[in-house]
Amino acid sequence: MKAVIQRVSECSVTVDGNVTGSIKDGFLILLGVESGDTRAEAEKLSSKIAGLRVFTDENDKMNLSLADINGSVLVVSNFTLCANCRKGRRPNFEAAARPDTAEPLYEYFCECMKKNGIQKVEKGVFGADMKVSLLNDGPVTLIIDTAQLAV
Q: Residue 151's pLDDT is what? A: 63
Instruction: Spell out the per-residue pLDDT of the chain, length 151, in tens.
Output: 999 999 999 999 999 999 999 999 999 999 999 999 999 999 999 999 999 999 999 999 999 999 999 999 999 999 999 999 999 999 999 999 999 999 999 999 999 999 999 999 999 999 999 999 999 999 999 999 999 987 6
pLDDT, residue 150, reads: 76
Cα Rg of the chain (Å, integer): 15
38-57: pLDDT as tens digits: 999 999 999 999 999 999 99
d(CA 85, CA 77) in angstroms, rounded, equals 19
Q: Is the pTM of this model over 0.75?
A: yes
- Give the chain's domains with CATH numbers: 2-148 (3.50.80.10)
Question: Per residue in 99-118, pLDDT tens?
Answer: 999 999 999 999 999 999 99
Count how many Cα atoms sit within 13 Å of the Cα of residue 93 in the half-sphere of its side chain. 11
51 within 8 A of 118, measured Cβ to Cβ = no
